[in-house]
A = this chain, B = another copy of it.
Amino acid sequence: MKARVTVSLKPGVLDPQGRAIRHALESLGFAGVGEVRVGKVIELELAPDTPRETVEEMARRLLANPVIESFRVDMADAPAEAP
């Protein structure tokens, strides 16, 4: 099964990479570009039936820096929840 962890800077944390992209887009002639934020996506191939909690623990312990980053976990082929 696959899981995807999306890591983004928390609101208010300065994003120099995003700012550089914004300026580069303006230099290329793209008008009307406002704030740009850059994050990471980590796609993991995992053993079947790995619980979401395990992936969240991976994110907390390694993939994201909880001081400045937040993360979201998306599970592919997640076992269907009871309706």
Interface residues of A (CB under 8 A from B): 6, 8, 18, 21, 24-25, 28, 30-47, 50, 54, 57-58, 61-63
Contacts and interface: CB of A to CB of B under 8 A. Distances in A.
A2 to B, nearest CB: 9
B44 A34 contact: yes
A24 B39 CA distance: 20
Given A21-B63, A38-B40, A63-B21, A30 B58 contact: yes
Contacts of A6: 41
Contact of A46 (B18, B32, B61): B32
A62 to B, nearest CB: 6
10 contacts: A8-B41, A18-B42, A21-B42, A28-B58, A28-B62, A34-B46, A35-B45, A38-B41, A38-B42, A38-B43
